[in-house]
Amino acid sequence: MNKNQINKMPEYFERYINYVPESDIIDALQKYDIEYLLEEKSTLKQIGHQVYAPGKWTIRDILQHVIDTERIFSYRALRIGRNDKTMLPGFDENLFASNAHGSSRKLDDLLYEFDVVRKSTIALYQSFSQVDLQREGFIFQSDISVLALGFTIAGHVVHHMSVIRERYYPLIQL
């Protein structure tokens, strides 16, 4: 199904969804897969542990956050796709980041993990029927469909790469 088939745009997640051009959900997830990140690998390595302001996440922390968030959103999509009407809680991204030890991990290990998680997300979305993709559930403070969650997952990585290019790339001489 295509992005324009999202019945109700969830306000909070719209900013991520809007990063993704009009496309099929599987195409969107594949477009922003490991290859999308590997194009930037040498620059990400150069940046290393530098941050643009005190207290900000390192590149590795950001990648860990993207991985953790994709896992959570895929789980949410699974629950909603299986017609589970339980309200799903939010999560504290800063708590996760402070306990994930992302900056102590190797960049290659994080990229590998992202690849595995993204492939799993794609497989999950390939298993959903059109009815499943249109199902809606309640997450924290918002109704959202399985389809909208998929585009949020795709757009989330684009959002963070945009932040990295804007705020972290100036830290090094390109």
Average pLDDT over the chain, rounded to whole?
Answer: 96
Q: Angle, nearest 10°, between helix axes 59-81 and 146-163?
A: 170
Per-residue HEC secondary structure of the chain comes to CEHHHCCCCCCCCHHHHCCCCCCEHHHHHHHCCHHHHHCCHHHHHHHCCCCCCCCCCCHHHHHHHHHHHHHHHHHHHHHHHCCCCCCECCCCHHHHHHHHCHHHCCHHHHHHHHHHHHHHHHHHHHHCCHHHHHCEEEECCEEEEHHHHHHHHHHHHHHHHHHHHHHHHHHCCC
Backbone angle region of 83, left / alpha / beta, with phi > 0 → left and psi within -120 to 50 → alpha: left
Q: List pLDDT tens digits, range 39-52.
A: 999 999 999 999 99
Global pTM value: 0.95
pLDDT higher than threshold 80 for residue 143? yes
pLDDT at 174: 62
Indicate the fold that domain 8-171 takes in CATH: Four Helix Bundle (Hemerythrin (Met), subunit A) (1.20.120)
Please determine, for residue 165, whether its predicted confidence score (pLDDT) is greater than 70.
yes
Per-residue pLDDT, averaged over 37-65, amounts to 97
Residue 131 bridge partners (DSSP): none
Bigger pLDDT: 58 or 7? 58
Q: What is the pLDDT of residue 141?
A: 81
Confidence label for 133 from pLDDT (cuts 50, 70 and 90)? very high
Report whether 160 contacts 114 (CB < 8 A): no
| pLDDT at 135 > cutoff 80 | yes
Average pLDDT over residues 21-37: 96
Q: What is the mean pLDDT of residues 3-28?
A: 93
| Tens-place pLDDT, residues 99-108 | 999 999 999 9
Check whether 173 has a pLDDT greater than 80: no
Beta bridge partners of 88: 139
Please state, in angstroms and as integers, the Cα–Cα distance from residue 26 to each residue in 48, 125, 146, following that order: 32, 7, 13
Domain boundaries in the chain?
8-171
